[in-house]
A = this chain, B = another copy of it.
């Protein structure tokens, strides 16, 4: 992708963009929604929900984890994933900030 240009932006924008990018894929959105709705918790269930292969789901889980949106705890042979309230709080705040305070110039 050309040159990554990451040095031109504020750390806040970079961190926040990571969060948004992690949610910017329907499979990951489905995973996160399933966790939020308490419909699923472990990798095998996400495979059934998304219809993707286990390897792909595991990769998506890894991305969500590295973005800080979820964190997994190994419970015996399974790994249980749950949401990170702090990341969701950040997202919520930033979206709230975007709400147009008044009507803009156009």
**What are the residues of chain B within 8 A of A5 when measuring CB–CB?**
27, 51-52
What is the number of residues of chain A that contact chain B, defined by CB distance less than 8 Å? 50
Q: A36-B98, A95-B91, A104-B35 are in contact. Are A29 and B52 (CB under 8 A)?
A: no
Identical copies in the complex: 2
Main secondary structure of the interface of A (DSSP, over half): helix
Tell whether, in the assembled complex, residue B106 and residue A95 are in contact, meaning their CB atoms are under 8 Å apart.
no
**Out of B9, B10, B25, B85, which one reaches A100, CB within 8 Å?**
B85
Chain A positions near chain B (C-beta within 8 angstroms): 5-6, 8-10, 13-14, 16-18, 20-30, 32-33, 35-36, 38, 41, 50-52, 73, 75, 80-83, 85, 88, 91-92, 95-101, 104-106
9 pairs, CB–CB < 8 Å, chain A vs chain B: A8-B27, A8-B50, A10-B26, A16-B29, A20-B21, A32-B98, A82-B105, A88-B98, A88-B100
